[in-house]
Amino acid sequence: MVPEPESAPRPRSRRSFIKHSMAGTALTAALGTMAAGSAPAWAGVRQTAGATLELEPADASYDVLVVGGGPAGLCAAIQAARAGAKTLLVEKSGVLGGAIVLNGVNFPGLFHAWGKQIIAGIGWDLVTAAVDLCGQALPDFSDYTRRHWHLQVRVDRAVFAALADAAVLDAGAALLFHAMAASAVFEDGRWRVGLATKEGMRSVPARVVIDCTGDANVAGIAGFARRRSPALQPGSIMARLGGYDEQALDYEALQRAYTAAVERGELRSGDAVNNNIAQLLRSRGDNTMHVVGIDGASSEGKSRAEVLARQQLLRLFRFCRKQPGLEQFQYDWFAMECGIRETFTIEGLETVTVRDYTSGRVWDDAVCYSFYPIDVHRPSGDGIDIRPLEEGMVPTIPRGALIPRDSRNFLAAGRCASGEQEANSAYRVQASCMAMGQAAGGIAALAVQRNELPAEVPMEAVRALLRNHGAIVPEPQG
């Protein structure tokens, strides 16, 4: 059912994110000076009051350790830190934003359902701060009859990433890039998570761990049960195509040439999505190059995906350069990682089924809304099974989907939350991940403060904290 509007986006927070962007400039300067005189044994950087950075001692222990700095992880870390938990955010790359930045999927959605805002809080504030700073306009969310992608919010990747750095540090969390979770052991009431860093292995103690890796990596390493579908959806390599005038191309001739190149083996069927070269060229790349038959769950699988994605780019480059009007074809930009749609989810205390999702089930322990069509990209690469929700339906995500079965002091948020493939194809989108991340961060902070397990924290306390931090939280219906 359509929820009544709860909290409108908070202008105060939007201004405060922009203020953080200026702090970000100071952060960059501070980082510049840090490189020369830093001690070798440190765990991360933390912002001090004057917007300078200090190093975290390597033996620091944390209330909350968040692994993965994508839409879910950065919101989890900001929320946990704002709620008073000593928090460390660890990210394997050198940038926050996850798929938004690393995969070039810089159009988060959906914050609105049927014309009403259903997701607000940290992620929305960050997205709208990026839009404000770039002088862009938000879509008209009231016109919900438009196809869903018109209601996503395009953000500048660099601005979003820089605002995210500043917001995480300004919240008081410590931030460690270029480190990957490699082990996780629970003993004496706390986690010790092994991080592979540039200086070798480092063990970080934390009361609560939040897995926001997208792939439930830490849950798997810790030995919790995970779920995966027999056939995984394709990934995509995002790129911006340039060097041609799209009005001047003969698309019929290009399609004939494309088909002939596939028959000769110079291109592979599916190199352009739907084998439609006109679509690829008119959209200048974007989300039109699916990479089929990959498994992004492991380092080996991801390595194969990256190589296959770049081979695809190379085949298309060689083909295009031979076509009239495309002699100067080039990639103006391409994503640093192949985008992965699906790997593992945790097996949670609760599992979101496609029926739960499409019927708009309001769970008793719902922590946020989620809204998107069922959006299963066929594993064969042969198109997308896309099913919009019935008018009025707004699904919710329960806390139980963020807690692995048989776990202690452990949460997982974002794409790896517990759900069936079809439901996951919808709730994996970025606005939902941001809302789940904020919820997980809040639950983790409360669990530490109250000395309770994440599943035991009273839902009234969870709802109150999240609403206090700008989130929209469904009311149970019973």
Ligand X SMILES: Cc1cc2nc3c(=O)[nH]c(=O)nc-3n(C[C@H](O)[C@H](O)[C@H](O)COP(=O)(O)OP(=O)(O)OC[C@H]3O[C@@H](n4cnc5c(N)ncnc54)[C@H](O)[C@@H]3O)c2cc1C
Residues found near ligand X in the complex (CB under 6 A): 67-73, 90-93, 98-99, 102-103, 105, 107-109, 152, 180-181, 212-214, 217, 235-236, 287, 339-341, 414-415, 428-430, 433
> By C-beta, is 257 or 305 nearer to ligand X?
305
Least gap, CB of 328 to ligand X (angstroms): 27
Q: Find, among 225, 219, 213, 221, the residue nearest to 183 by Cα.
A: 221
How far apart CA 471 and CA 6 sit, in angstroms, is 9
- Residue 426 burial class via C-beta count within 10 angstroms: exposed 0-12, middle 13-18, buried 19 and up: buried
Q: How far is the CB of 87 from ligand X (least distance, A)?
A: 15
Q: How many CB atoms neighbour CB 325 within 10 A?
A: 19
Closer to ligand X by CB, 409 or 430: give it: 430
Closest CA to 125 of 69, 81, 166: 166
Q: Are the C-beta atoms of 296 and 340 separated by less than 8 Å?
A: yes
Minimum distance from residue 221 beta carbon to ligand X (Å): 8
Q: Are 367 and 462 in contact (CB under 8 A)?
A: yes
Least separation, in Å, of the C-beta of 382 and ligand X? 16
Contacts of 369 (CB under 8 A, 6+ apart): 3, 113, 118, 119, 394, 395, 396, 397, 432, 435, 472, 474
CB of 372 to ligand X, least distance (A): 7
Yes or no: say if 161 and 69 are a contact pair by the CB < 8 Å rule.
no
What would the two tokens of residue 274 be?
């739907």
CA dist 92 and 206 (Å) reads: 18
* Nearer Cβ to ligand X (72/80): 72
User: What are the tokens at 385?
Assistant: 């099974």
- Which of residues 24 and 70 has its CB atom nearest to ligand X in the complex? 70
Is the CB of residue 363 less than 8 Å from the CB of residue 375? no
| Least distance CB 458 / ligand X (angstroms) | 26
- Residue 290 is encoded by which pair of tokens? 């699916």
In the complex with ligand X, the residue whose CB is nearer, 105 or 366, is 105
